[in-house]
Amino acid sequence: MGTPELISPRSPRVAAAKRLAKRSFRGKERRFIAEGPQAVREAVEHRSDGEPTLIELFATAEAAERYTGIVDAARAAGARVHLAPDEVLAEVSQTVTPQGIVGVCRFLDSPFEEILAAKPRLVAVLAHVRDPGNAGTVLRCADAAGADAVVLTDASVDLYNPKSVRASVGSLFHLPVAVGVPVEQAVSGLKSVGVRILAADGAGDDDLDDELDAGTMGGPSAWVFGNEAWGLPEETRALADAVVRVPIHGRAESLNLATAAAVCLYASARAQRASGGCRSVTPS
């Protein structure tokens, strides 16, 4: 049989997908939207609790022809596949210029306890991060740096916000992510499994270069990243084993959250992969 065609944006299936733009509906139905070929491809290959993550796929005729492999894999995985006109994709999509392919996915966050049980060596903790684009970009940085998990505290943005999902560029499907964890619980839990807590703060007492030269970053660590505008509150800073600043060697006033996160996570990744840490080899 051919792929069913949605001839009207008023279809109940379209209305159900469109509702997922709102956080309340996402939480109620535990489903979210993934847009574009990269995200949908990753969703097709992902499974959560033994179940396929991708539930439903909408694609224009042009996109279905262009991304035949994705459409075939989605159908083989048991997802409902709908061939849809452009106006349907415009209804379902959350972007100004839809790429012609949109997936409806199950929630895939992991229990925080499972992350702890896996004894992680590198974790990104997003505390008070409110911008969805930043959250998704930090998740992508964590994935690229080889982090074992990401934790979003209860004061941070919704992981499944469409902007977060798009900014992760598929990395959402690559590593465990826990959501809604109070920052105190996140810190105490990570400490209980031997993870050193590093708070990233532009006004930190410790310099990232000095930490690297001292060889103190080779062990398991978790970086805590704060709000884009006001950083980390004092009570959160007090929970950390060290409050670390990224050195500014030029004249820039500061680094934005995603850039600072990339620098910090890659510094830890490099130190953990280096024999004996990442000590300076410059002769004294």
Residues 256 and 151 in one domain: yes
Based on the structure, what is the number of domains in the chain?
Answer: 2
In tens, the pLDDT along 40-83 reads 999 999 998 888 999 999 999 999 999 999 999 999 999 999 98
In a domain, 7, yes or no: no
Residue 110 pLDDT grade (very low, low, confident, very high; cuts 50, 70, 90): very high
pLDDT at 282 over 60: no
pLDDT score at 200: 95
Whether residues 172 and 265 share a domain: the answer is yes
**What is the per-residue pLDDT for 254?**
85
Do 151 and 260 belong to one domain?
yes
Last residue of a domain, one of 57, 87, 106: 106
Q: Does 126 share its domain with 258?
A: yes
Mean pLDDT of 160-182: 95
Residue 6 resides in a domain: no
Average pLDDT, the chain: 90
Question: Of 75, 106, 137, which marks where a domain is finished?
Answer: 106
Q: Is the pLDDT of residue 24 over 80?
A: yes
Give the pLDDT of residue 228: 80
Assigned domain for 282 exists: no
Asked if the model's pLDDT at residue 35 lies above 80, the reply is yes
- CA angle at residue 157 from 154 to 163, to 5 degrees? 155
In a domain, 30, yes or no: yes
Find the mean pLDDT for residues 240-269. Answer: 93
211 and 260 share a domain? yes
85 shares a domain with 169:
no
Please tell me the distance from the alpha carbon of residue 79 to that of residue 57, in angstroms, as a whole number.
7
Res 86 pLDDT > 90? no
Give the whole-number percent of the chain exceeding pLDDT 90. Answer: 75
| CATH assignment of the domain containing 141 | 3.40.1280.10
> Residue 84 is part of which domain span?
12-106
